Amino acid sequence: MSGDAAKILNVPIAGKSYDIVIGSGLLLSGLERVSALIRKGEKTALISDENVWQRYGYAVETGLNALGIATEAIVLPPGEKTKDIGHLSLVYDRMAAAGITRKGCVIALGGGVVGDLSGFAAATYMRGVDFIQIPTTLLAQVDSSVGGKTAVDIAAGKNLVGAFYQPRLVLIDPDVLTSLPPREFAAGMAEVIKYGAIASPSLFALLEQTTVPSMTEIICSCCAIKSDIVAEDEFDNGHRAILNFGHTFGHAIEKRYGFSKYNHGEAVAAGMRIAAHIGEKIGMTAPGTAARLGSLLDRYGLTATESPVGLIEHIKSDKKGEAGGVNLVLLKALGAVVCVYKRFEELEVLLDD
């Protein structure tokens, strides 16, 4: 992966546009870009989890300190359980005790849990401080670090307390992915394949090639797609929903097993298979699409298939707020989507038949 030149994409959100910089070695060589955004003399919270910290934390902190940035390292336990109000409160306390002011900054160094929690801390601490994302998982690099969704979980469900809060910079180093466990890498590839399926026949075809494409190129394509969608619909009132292709079924599959059998990406992959199959069944999706999508998912180790039978109960409980039905994101063909509203009764017949 090394040797790729850094690429810069801009997320053009009015009044708060920011760059996503992607390239090999940026974890350290990109820190000057980070320091350029931090006000001199202000302390910065560097938030991470124990696993990421062990591997990269010391180098990043030392690099920032060498550039004159004083840091308060806040290292949290790894895992989704950390994304709660208790740990958020601990982060606020540590930031306050360290003397971080309204002019300070929060840097998230980690995957989606660290990014989501740190982003919400940045959005709310002293009514908002600057925020920078340095994502270290593929899922975070292509999805959660871009677009400003921040949140914590509460007992009633995941991501139920949060804010839209855009970062000032996203710094992506694909080299860090070499240390990801294979399952976690594959989970990120589910989101990568999703981008190809919903918006880019060329990305989809690139992933189908026998030669392994450059991760910088792949991440760039995904971030460009997400950036366009987010710029058009920052607050998730319409078009941004297409990013949820496979997610309605994926969330239901996660619920079916009480979040224990699959990780999010694996469940979304199984959900995309169901969405493509349903699309073909009702004549919305070009015949053969589900088979091609299935082959690509297999190729990246996302081989799980789930029966659609009985999934409706979990969809209903996941979509409690929506009276009577659900908007499904379906494929027209690879690279193009269509949104279709289905009443729960109709969907139940489609799934169970």
- Footprint of ligand GLY (CB under 6 A): 143, 147, 149, 236, 240, 243
Residue 246: both structure tokens together: 């496979």
User: Would you say 143 or 254 has its CB closer to ligand GLY?
Assistant: 143
Shortest Cβ distance from residue 145 to ligand GLY (Å)? 10
User: Would you say 235 or 341 has its CB closer to ligand GLY?
Assistant: 235
User: Would you say 19 or 236 has its CB closer to ligand GLY?
Assistant: 236
Shortest Cβ distance from residue 143 to ligand GLY (Å)? 5
Contacts of 78 (CB under 8 A, 6+ apart): 49, 50, 51, 52, 113
Residue 296 and residue 251 in contact, taking contact as beta carbons nearer than 8 Å? no
- In this structure, the number of other CB atoms found within 10 A of the CB of residue 95 comes to 24
User: Would you say 168 or 299 has its CB closer to ligand GLY?
Assistant: 168
Shortest Cβ distance from residue 287 to ligand GLY (Å)? 29
Shortest Cβ distance from residue 39 to ligand GLY (Å)? 28
User: Would you say 69 or 113 has its CB closer to ligand GLY?
Assistant: 113
Across 103-136, b (16+ Cβ under 10 Å) vs e yields ebbbbbbbbbbbbbbbbbbbbbbeeebbbbbbbb
User: Would you say 264 or 277 has its CB closer to ligand GLY?
Assistant: 264
Shortest Cβ distance from residue 236 to ligand GLY (Å)? 6
Contacts of 351 (CB under 8 A, 6+ apart): 274, 278, 308, 309, 310, 311, 312
Shortest Cβ distance from residue 50 to ligand GLY (Å)? 25
- In this structure, the number of other CB atoms found within 10 A of the CB of residue 287 comes to 9
Shortest Cβ distance from residue 132 to ligand GLY (Å)? 18
Shortest Cβ distance from residue 326 to ligand GLY (Å)? 16
Number of residues in the chain: 353
- In this structure, the number of other CB atoms found within 10 A of the CB of residue 162 comes to 18
User: Would you say 149 or 251 has its CB closer to ligand GLY?
Assistant: 149
User: Would you say 112 or 294 has its CB closer to ligand GLY?
Assistant: 112
Query: What DSSP letter does each residue of 24-71 carry, written as one string?
Result: TTHHHHTHHHHHHHSPTT--EEEEEEHHHIIIIIHHHHHHHHHTT--E
Residue 148 per-residue DSSP state: -
